[in-house]
Amino acid sequence: MQHVDNKQRIYQKFIQNNDIIIQNVNTTVDMSCVNQQNLQNAIFKNCKDIIFYNAPESLKHIKIKRSAINSLDGIQQLSQLESFEIDQNPEICLNPLVTLNITKLSLQNMNLSDISMLRFLKKLTSLDLCSNNIFDISMLSFLQDLTFLRLRKNKIQNISVLSNLTCLKELIICQNLIYDALPISSLKLEKLYIWGNYITDISCINTTNMGELFVQQNYIPTQQIAKFKQLSINRSNYQEQRKPSFDLIFKLHFTRFNRRLKQIYAKQEINNQQINKDIHSIRSEIYENAMKCNLALQRMQSESTDSQ
């Protein structure tokens, strides 16, 4: 009992109003020893570990930065939790989050590749998956209420699932491997950051409500750039377009083909006939897309020659 009282006194100094901010602590933080009614916000920075069992049930927002957390067990009891943010903690299991009704989730620098657990978080309106190793985003189809989505610095190529996320207002998908912007053409976005990809055509993008548009470092033809510059978009950047390079386009599609093959061979339950069928289908799809990119490349080269 004396030990618990000592911890309570220690944690009390980290509490300000309805917030608790604990940082640079070399011992495990035991949230059961935080005795504070109406505590709403908890921020942890550079903490060794955190135990969430019997944490104050009034908590609504948790942010964990640069901390080596071993487990999120116990967090599922926080029925009032609305937002959860964590970064640089790649070994942790995120499954305890799936029973919560959180609306905001941030998982930056978590070395994530599998995001299947997101299908249970159907009330999310804000999702940040920046700086991971995500290739497949099909699970986002379950998140129909998303208004903010940040997928910067991943390995995403296929964004067809985004066409169904009609509530999206802000989309950040820069620094990926995207070559086709058509899936987001029907979205009424207010902010779009799609720079640093392999896109050759942005004519399909709906700019009716667009307030910010950043498409630099792609392969967009100069004619399209000129048209978009005439639009009354408050903040935009179309410059620094990449120079056409067939080698880069070939590399993009070869990488995609290789990843899809690995996915197929990982399914040990299917027979060789099915594998060959899938390989043929993928080859056809990628060849078709590569030809589209090559045509766009030729168009850009032609424009460049005409302007000289």
- DSSP class of 235: E
The better pLDDT of the pair 156, 222 is held by: 156
Alpha carbon 173 to chain centroid, angstroms: 8
Alpha carbon 11 to chain centroid, angstroms: 34
The better pLDDT of the pair 217, 304 is held by: 217
- In percent, the amount of the chain with pLDDT more than 90 equals 52
Most confident of 55-69, 118-132, 187-201, 279-293: 118-132
Q: Which of these, 84, 82, 3, lies nearest to 50 by C-alpha position?
A: 84
Percent helix, strand, coil in the chain (nearest 5)? 35, 20, 45
Would you say residue 237 has pLDDT above 90? Answer: no
What is the Cα–Cα distance from 250 to 268, expressed in whole angstroms?
Answer: 29
Give 102-128 as a DSSP string.
-SEEEEETS-----GGGGG-TT-SEEE
What is the Cα–Cα distance from 197 to 170, expressed in whole angstroms?
Answer: 18
Least confident of 89-98, 145-154, 162-171: 89-98
Q: Which of these, 172, 184, 133, lies nearest to 156 by C-alpha position?
A: 133
Side chain identity at residue 287, one-letter code = Y
The tokens of 24 are what? 């640079």
**Which helix or strand (DSSP H or E) is residue 51 part of?**
strand 41-51
136: phi then psi, degrees, rounded to nearest 5:
-105, 120
Would you say residue 1 has pLDDT above 50? Answer: no
Alpha carbon dihedral 98, 99, 100, 101, in 10-degree steps, equals 100
Mean pLDDT of the chain: 83
Residue carrying structure tokens 């190793």: 133
For residues 256 and 177, is the Cβ–Cβ distance under 8 A?
A: yes
| pLDDT computed for residue 299 by the predictor | 62
Would you say residue 77 has pLDDT above 50? Answer: yes
Sign of torsion over alpha carbons 236, 242, 248, 250: positive
The better pLDDT of the pair 112, 232 is held by: 112
| pLDDT computed for residue 78 by the predictor | 95
| pLDDT computed for residue 4 by the predictor | 46
Average pLDDT of the residues in 252-260: 58
The tokens of 273 are what? 């006939």
Cβ–Cβ contacts within 10 Å for residue 62, how many? 23
| pLDDT computed for residue 292 by the predictor | 61
The better pLDDT of the pair 33, 73 is held by: 73
pTM above 0.85, yes or no: no
What is the Cα–Cα distance from 41 to 265, expressed in whole angstroms?
Answer: 46
